[in-house]
Amino acid sequence: MNFNKVLDNVSIYEAGKPIELVVREYGINPKDIIKLASNENPYGTSPKVTKKIQEIAGNMFVYPDDSMYELKDALSNKFEVKPSNVIVGSGSDQILEFCVHAKCDKDSKVLMSKTTFAMYEIYAKQTGSSVIKTVDDEHNLEQFSAMYKEHGADIIFLCLPNNPLGECLDKDDVYTFLETIDKDTLVVVDGAYQEYASFKDEKKRINPKDLINTFPNCIYLGTFSKAYALGGMRVGYGIAQEDIIKTLYKLRAPFNITTLTLAAAIEALKDEEFVDKCIALNFEEMNRYEEYAEQKGFDYIDSYTNFITLKFGDLFSSKEVAQNLLELGVIVRDLTGYGVNAIRITIGSKEQNTKVFEILDEVLEKLK
């Protein structure tokens, strides 16, 4: 059967391995598996969200409010924008898809960092667009500027902080760069981990209202999957000027998120105390990984997220480390596919991390 030829050049996104797969392949008790590959919040969902879901669980036969009025109103209040500046999607990556399909075709160019969220490239190639990447793995705005001057771009993706590496640009440097960008170029600022970055360093904070008012060609993306611990609910949002939002709505299917998703996200926004506590614990535990890397003599990327990237250099093969950890029940993300000899580890709970260090010691000793 023949399909659209542009799909011949599109890779399939590989999500982190689920616990169920590890149970099947290695016969490990599910209770003994530590999943630190998908950057989920290890402290679970806010108890207030759980209670709300239980209250409405009997209403699943009713379609959700497709206007998403209550959630959009809550987001507009949080970020001091109008509800008409907000679009909600099934995860923020659905908004990414809307942006690419609204702006790109086979003659378009999309600019991004060499090592960044894989779906940017996948969505771009679905439209037949040309993908332009910087040379460095981490975001380098000088290289972004040079590439933009040489090639131009219909869309620029800035992942702040960057997934899967964890580094983050300062807001002032981003703004200086944005001042040089043509107003017909859509700049997507992916803030999936912004809650973590702004907690760690105020210089990294991107304020959505200020961003879109200063640069009307920008859209800010956020998600409930990370700090708000709703990865299983799949809900994200975009904030932009009304003309951009209206265009993106032309690509949105009705009822693109669920009744449960709406209720969970609305309730999660009410419990900022839970979010702040989770983020504080995240960075306390991240310090332990930094100390561990220093003791073992390998590098790590200073992270502004809920994960850390450990770089092995010539010491170990990240592919071998990840596979050996997997066989012992610890799921991490090998970055070999990105061309980086490193593993990305979600920062788990104190108990999880203590166990990871013990198992990692065993693996590294074996691979010496």
Mean pLDDT of 266-289: 96
Residues 6+ positions from 346 with CB-CB distance below 8 Å: 35, 36, 37, 38, 39, 40, 42, 306, 307, 332
Mean pLDDT of the chain: 93
Which residues on adjacent β-strands are paired with residue 220? 189, 239
Pairwise CA distance, residues 180 & 212, whole Å: 15
Q: What are the pLDDT digits (tens) for 130-146?
A: 999 999 999 999 999 99
Mean pLDDT of 46-58: 90
- CATH class of the structural domain 47-270: alpha beta
Grade residue 24 by pLDDT with cuts at 50, 70 and 90. confident
Grade residue 57 by pLDDT with cuts at 50, 70 and 90. confident
Q: Which residue has the higher pLDDT, 28 or 286?
A: 286
Pairwise CA distance, residues 270 & 261, whole Å: 15
Q: What are the pLDDT digits (tens) for 293-332?
A: 999 999 999 999 999 999 998 889 999 999 999 999 999 9
Nearest to 91 by CA among 306, 274, 256: 256
Sign of CA pseudo-dihedral 136, 141, 146, 150: positive
Q: Which residue has the higher pLDDT, 206 or 24?
A: 206
Q: Which residue has the higher pLDDT, 150 or 13?
A: 150
Mean pLDDT of 205-229: 97
* H/E stretch holding 116: none
- Residue 75 has what pLDDT? 97
Grade residue 16 by pLDDT with cuts at 50, 70 and 90. low
What are the residue boundaries of the structural domains of the chain, listed by start?
Answer: 5-45+273-367, 47-270
Tell me which of 3.40.50.10540, 3.30.1360.120, 3.90.1150.10, 1.10.3470.10 is the CATH number of domain 5-45+273-367.
Answer: 3.90.1150.10
- Residue 185 has what pLDDT? 98
Q: What are the pLDDT digits (tens) for 233-250?
A: 999 999 999 999 999 999
